[in-house]
Structure 1
């Protein structure tokens, strides 16, 4: 498990890394995104989080902070190139009196395995309900699939592939089982990424979802599109409508 400060800090604690007047700087953008996600019910009660990668630097929301009240001073910063032991992460900048997010190794997986620029973790009720519906299927399904829905166009075709999915394509999102400690999800998440190389998200049973993208814009767009599709899928299930159809 990661601990706060695993290095001898300078007097300034590298605070220059989170100080910028640019609204698009990761240290400013993460609190702004988390405020928006809070209004959607995605990060209620300090749950969930967001991380942005800027080349080798990774900016992370802390653990246990009310997301709608987060400030740039609350942001952790690490360098991917300095991480050699996943259980002993080295931070370039740590806020005082806070703890690193247990989501950190899962965010890092998205950055290292998919070259993502942003990873978002939510506790969306729609995401959780989808995993519960899949759990009730005879096979205890570990894959959400839906096709012939316009919003599917909001997703890329896959890592290192050009273009987005089309209306007739099938969107597939794998499901992994929850664990008592969030960082213990890392191995399962990486296995799901390997098994489904084109996915941009992984659902966590009875917990939430991780969504990533090449940029902040793409990650946010895909996260919003998924939430829409999950809500739609739940309403479809109520009406006895199938998530998969043979429309061509």
Structure 2
């Protein structure tokens, strides 16, 4: 059982992550959503329609792991269901950052299959469990849909076949990256975005 983490600590971490992510240009307009696990039963999430570079404590709310608000009038994004499903699937997931970068969005559309495979980059070592550039990095790619419940079920089905690591892509939409806490989720996000940018440039140059 995971010990509860004070919401003030997680709120500060998500607000700081939002400012950093916005500075990278990875969450334009009011796109994206962030969360952090509060306990085995609850998570702190960003409210719908809030600019991620301008977050305050008033832009965050607590939800249960079905995505329902807890003692709040704020409305969570429909995509909260993907965050909470990740928390249900893996107790080690402590934070989820969903972004809309150009690299992740374009690369997800260029990849025709259900998996994006990347290899040969030193930055793969930024992803937890990797100590070399040699092993393939495989990220699941899901088709975009506005039906988040259906997408959450697809995520669970894919996870049962093989647990996912670090993140996944939604085609034409963006990246979901996670970690044991907000700091690790940030590291995975940054590492993956670097890898996406490299892979996109290699494809642009016609190098396989």
Unaligned runs of 5+ in 1: 1-16, 81-85, 135-139, 157-162, 243-248
Following the alignment from structure 1 to structure 2, what is the Cα–Cα distance between the partners of residues 195 and 130? 24
Following the alignment from structure 1 to structure 2, what is the Cα–Cα distance between the partners of residues 102 and 34? 19
Picking from 69, 76, 81, the partner of 1:100 is 76
Secondary structure at the counterpart of residue 193 of structure 2:
helix
Unaligned runs of 5+ in 2: 1-5
Mapped contact 1:144–1:172 kept (Cα < 8 A): yes
Q: Which residue of the partner structure matches residue 60 of structure 1?
A: 45
Mapped contact 1:27–1:59 kept (Cα < 8 A): yes
- Runs (4+) off by over 4 Å: none
Mapped contact 2:28–2:100 kept (Cα < 8 A): yes
Secondary structure at the counterpart of residue 210 of structure 1:
strand
TM-score (norm 1): 0.75
Q: Which residue of the partner structure matches residue 133 of structure 1?
A: 110
Calculate the aligned-residue CA RMSD, in Å.
1.8
1:92 Cα offset (Å) = 2.6
Picking from 139, 143, 146, the partner of 2:118 is 146
For the pair 1:91 / 2:63, whether they are aligned, the reply is no
TM-score (norm 2): 0.88
Following the alignment from structure 2 to structure 1, what is the Cα–Cα distance between the partners of residues 149 and 79? 6
Following the alignment from structure 1 to structure 2, what is the Cα–Cα distance between the partners of residues 53 and 45? 25
Secondary structure at the counterpart of residue 29 of structure 2:
helix
For the pair 1:48 / 2:32, whether they are aligned, the reply is yes
Q: Which residue of the partner structure matches residue 10 of structure 1?
A: none
Bigger-Rg structure (1/2): 1
Per-residue deviation, residues 42-66 of structure 1 (Å, max 9, x unmatched): 2111110110013333100010112
Following the alignment from structure 1 to structure 2, what is the Cα–Cα distance between the partners of residues 120 and 165? 23
Where does 1:2-17 land on structure 2 (aligned, <5 Å)?
A: none
